[in-house]
Amino acid sequence: MIQRIAVALLILALLILLPAMLREKPVAADLPDDTLSDTLVVVTPHAESIKYEFERAFQRYYFEKFNRNIVIDWRSPGGTSDIVRYINDRYEASFRRYCEKNNLPWNSQIAAAFRNYKVKADKSAQASDESRARAIFLESDVSIDIDVFFGGGTYDHANHARKGYAVDAGIHQRHPDWFKPEIMPESWSGEAICDPNGGYYGVCLATFGICYNPDRLKNFAQKPRRWSDLADAAYFNTLALADPTKSGSINKCFEVLIQQSMSEAVKANRTPAEGWQDGMNLIRRLVGNSRTISESAGKVTREVASGNAAAGMAIDFYALSEAQFADFQTQGKAQRIVYVPPEGGSSVSADPVQMLRGAPNRKQAEAFIEFLLSEAGQQIWQYKVNTPGGPEKYTLRRPPVRRDLYSAKHLPYMADADYDPYSATLSFEYHPEWTGRYFNLIRVMIRTTMLDAADELQAAWKAICDAGGAAAVPEAAAEFDRPIVPYEQASQAAAGLSVSAKNSMQQVIQLRRSWTMRAIEQYQRARKLAQAGR
């Protein structure tokens, strides 16, 4: 009996230790191994290529500055949305422990209030428990044992700054010259690039457009140039899209599409509300034409380059990197993917970094963010492999945030020397007041009323296309396009998605479910109308 138990324990120990034994050793630059070493903990959705290049480059920078080695402990629990939930849950658990340890009250109202920027921070005796909790949290060093959040989008980073999860890394104070408009503007075409209070800093940029496979579209009269081109019936069962609840970058792409629809509506003397619905209806058609819905933005371009999909919505650097890889594979003999900025313009979006409250390695976190914004750090994003100051193994093809890198000094070493995202987005003006506060609503609406109802949506869209298109069956098209949440109700709907003392998680789930059921019934009616020729 004892022998059996010993064998079982040995097997259990091996199962526990095996992942650690097989784990890759952390990358390390060629630095002396007899010096003191520090650690930095970074949570990120970034790909392995980015983590590899920035760890090695930062190690060299850190050793030169402090004469110490450093290792980055990378944490990647999923995409941006997964990381945001992870950070949110960790801060709630950590602050609850802080309150219980210090004999402070804790309940569901305080759990909602301590991170609510609308709650006034007040520690006075007359203040409510919620206001005192908010003030105590903002003055505390409550920690989740992570130093830096690196990557994602400005929406989530700005939310963290407002909640108090992010703190000032002091870069504005140490390097005020970096934040001149000609070097790093605070905003561009209406989009935030960095937080003037230091809550987050954009480190690289992204624009959004269309990618397509030339072979798959060789029989098409015209290649796609506008978002609306992808809604044509000829693209049925050919598009690659991504789930915006899994990818913040893809949700930004959908928001840009809606912004463009609203802008075009206003130019035509229509209302922003009509433009909002135009954008939602266009996204419905894209989902109707979709062949694959992936969980990551990077998979969209892989689907297109492989020929599994004919076209898709893409982030510039994913498409450019995929084109580079395809060129390498075919030795320049075939073009498998083309990236096109959409006519009508596209927004530029920053990919930020922020230091988290209670960072256990604050000095190292500040040094890392400072490096990312320095010329040396910015070069890693766009320089070609084996150029002076460039990456070692991977050409990342990400546009740097600093405008001074788009100059004669740097262009000879850049992978995309002819691409300046600042110039490319001059014709587009982002209006944050239109959709900024509805960023989460947009991704939930797309998920619940389109992706979760995809079978019914695609069946209805196919029936409309088979009947000759929307003009041939106007009743079916009107039913297909019926708004689930009109723009006038967007504020109320967005509030309904937030868990609070007055709105439980169960209520949020019920609301989302009701939208899905309404959408399914609506698409079923649209299909029947189209099949009846109405």
Percentage of the chain modeled with pLDDT above 90: 80
Instruction: Please identify every stretch of the chain with a pLDDT value under 50, giving residue numbers as ranges.
Output: 15-26
Q: CA quadruple 394, 400, 403, 406: dihedral positive or negative?
A: positive
Domain locations in the chain? 80-203+349-424, 452-534
Radius of gyration of the chain from Cα atoms?
25
What's the pLDDT score for residue 21? 42
pLDDT at 4: 58
pLDDT tens for residues 153-192?
899 999 999 999 999 999 999 999 999 999 999 999 889 9
CA distance 193 to 203: 9
| pTM attached to this predicted model | 0.84
Exposure string over 239-270, b if 16+ CB within 10 A, otherwise e: bbbbbbbbbbbbbbbbbbbbbbbbbbbeeeee
Q: What pLDDT does 16 receive?
A: 47
Cα(114)–Cα(98) distance, integer angstroms: 12
Helix (H, G, I), strand (E, B) or coil at 495: helix
pLDDT value at position 20?
Answer: 42
Distances (CA, A) of 494 to 43, 119, 432: 27, 18, 15
Query: Which class would CATH give 80-203+349-424?
Result: alpha beta
Ramachandran area for residue 170 (φ above 0: left; ψ -120 to 50: alpha; else beta)? left
| Per-residue pLDDT tens over the stretch 98-136 | 999 999 999 999 999 999 999 999 999 999 999 999 999
pLDDT of residue 25: 46
Backbone conformation region of residue 254, classed left if phi is above 0, alpha if psi is from -120 to 50, else beta: alpha
In 3D space, the residue among 424, 15, 12, 518 whose CA is nearest the CA of residue 189 turns out to be: 424
Closest CA to 341 of 434, 427, 280, 232: 427
Spatial CA neighbour of 167 closest among 187, 153, 148, 191: 148
Going by the DSSP 8-state scheme, the letter that residue 423 receives in this structure is H
Contact 39, 71 (CB under 8 A): yes
E strand or H helix at 432, and its extent?
Answer: helix 432-435
Q: Burial-class residue 365 by CB neighbours within 10 Å (0-12, 13-18, 19+).
A: buried
Q: CA–CA separation, 150 vs 160, rounded Å?
A: 13
d(CA 280, CA 286): 10
Asked if 233 and 404 count as a contact pair (C-beta separation under 8 A), the reply is no
